[in-house]
Structure 1
């Protein structure tokens, strides 16, 4: 009997170690606030005067923003309180036809950083249009704040862009993991090989979380099933209620039935706009 108990305890500890990953609710809430701030106008961000959207978190210093003709946007700045470089890639603007065309393109293209990896064509094209500028700004800021932490975040389309960004910042950071990589409502980005590659590299981050919320339809896109065959990366943190930030389910592996993959008829766009109870749909109208 003792032997069976010992075996059970050993197996239980192995299962727990496999399924566990670090998640800090306060950090996730903070980076989600920076994600929301990235929807504000450049002028309000550089002066950090975007009302309650900016008041939720510490002001960023030396803020640089970038927006191209396709209305793709990022912000980068330094948090003195956190001693961290913060990068937030913006999600889809509701009125942007260009952003919607990016989201709706569901073809795959080869991804150069790993064998047999493929990623969403629209996301890759969007990412290619901002990465050179972002690398330049990050290198400047890294030189200025040499020992600072690095946080990367993004919501919706911004979550997909952040997913493509984190391996690039990892390389620029001398192949050292970033300190936090957290997305909200990200769609699927790549194929099975891409998902596996992320897992093999521990998501290129000391702490990572792909946050999902209840019946958010965006996290179910592009389709998992054949012939689309997209697959999420892991480290999912699934919330049923956006207002109860300490009640969630953690799923190490992607497409776990215990998390968003187990939700059928995920058609509530309000959930996509409700992470941490913030007004993702309304606040951007007042900080543009």
Structure 2
């Protein structure tokens, strides 16, 4: 089972790779996984991975790159950052907003846990009201992380979408970054933007009421989990937390290449199948999303 000690190394690592972005149509918010959708997931994961690399959160205006070559698809797209931000914010929320001219994307990416402030955020399980919807509550730490980044991110998205109106807006992140990306997408949608959200190994973010609300928003929610990754099981359902639906569960052990046929799709904001069905978890499953997560991304 999950322990706090087993989670500590997660924030020090980053994600691995592959894809391109098709236009997909969903039925009731659910998209079947074929090779084109898998390619999109690979690309989005590389953008999530790149948020761990210091060169992508302390040098705005440059090309998005990974020191260890783990975001080759992102580098091939010639994506450049419009803004980058990190530890001057109270929750140490870190990431970037980038323009991808090859895939016609505006990418909002958030880093997973990599500091003491991030871990304080993760463990701040209190539920607080949010203006995202009536009667909705949200994980206090994740919501504060989004609020810390909100003004800079929304200004960048506004500017880029005005100058590139045909570009698709996406949010992405791994672990803590995936939780923040989910809330960012919901808030940007309420502001009138069409946004697709991609998360990898994200924890639960909110009450069932808010999870249902985000699930019903247009744009697409792609909550991707892997094998017996422990992180999507926190905070626990017993504390009133739920996931955005659907879950795209990678039914394949660590260290193996992921195929489109390896996905199982489960609906429901309180879903005890897929990743949540595991009683014994393994932190290494959190470190394998389409490839191994490499610590060199943080160097």
TM-score (normalizing by structure 2) = 0.80
Match in the other structure for 1:53: 70
- Report Cα offsets for 1:60-119 as digits up to 9, x if no partner: 1344211133421121111111111111111111xx111111001111000112122110
Take 1:18 and 1:146, find their aligned partners in 2: how far apart are those partners? 26
- Written as runs of structure 1 = structure 2, the 5 A alignment for 1:146-165 is 146-165=165-184
Q: 1:254 is paired with a residue of what secondary structure?
A: coil
Pairwise mapping of residues 75-86 of structure 1 onto structure 2 (< 5 A)? 75-86=96-107
Q: CA deviation at 1:258?
A: 3.1
Describe the shift of the 1:159–1:19 C-alpha distance in structure 2 as closer, same or farther (beyond 3 A). Answer: closer
Which of 245, 248, 251 does residue 240 from structure 1 map onto?
A: 251
Which residue of 1 is the match for residue 189 of structure 2? 170
Matched, 1:31 2:44: yes
The answer to whether the aligner puts 1:92 opposite 2:92 as a matched pair is no
* Partner Cα distance (2:65, 2:43) in 1: 17
1:178-189 equivalences in 2 (<5 Å) = 178=195, 180-189=196-205
Kindly tell me the number of residue pairs found equivalent between the two proteins. 258
Cα offsets for 1:123-156 (capped at 9, x unmatched): 1111111101111111121122122111211111
Contact persistence 1:216–1:269 (CA under 8 A): yes
Q: Cα 1:108–1:239, aligned 2, differ >3 Å: closer, same or farther?
A: same
- Preserved contact between residue 127 and residue 137 of structure 2 (Cα < 8 Å): yes
SS of residue matched to 2:249: strand
Structure 2 stretches lacking a partner, 5+ long? 1-26
Q: Of 151, 160, 165, which residue of structure 2 is paired with 1:132? A: 151
Q: Is the 8 A contact 1:72 1:90 kept in 2?
A: yes
Choose 1 or 2 for highest CA Rg.
1
Say if 2:87 is the partner of 1:65. Answer: no
State how far apart, in whole Å, the 2-side matches of 1:22 and 1:87 are.
Answer: 24
Tell me the equivalent position of 2:264: 249
More helix by share: 1
Whether the aligned pair in 1 keeps the contact of 2:50 and 2:64 (CA below 8 Å) is: no
Shift in Å, 1:167: 1.9
Structure 1 residue aligned with 2:275: 260
2:108 and 2:153 in contact (8 A); partners too:
no
Deviates more, 1:108-117 or 1:31-40: 108-117
Q: Which has the higher contact order (CA 8 A, sep 6+)?
A: 2
TM-score of the superposed pair, with normalisation by structure 1 = 0.83
Deviation at 1:186, TM superposition (A): 0.6
1:232 to partner: Cα distance:
0.8
Q: Give 1:270's aligned residue.
A: 284
SS at structure 2 position matched to 1:277: coil
| Partner-residue secondary structure (3-state), 1:139 | helix
1:191 pairs with 204, 207, 218, which one? 207
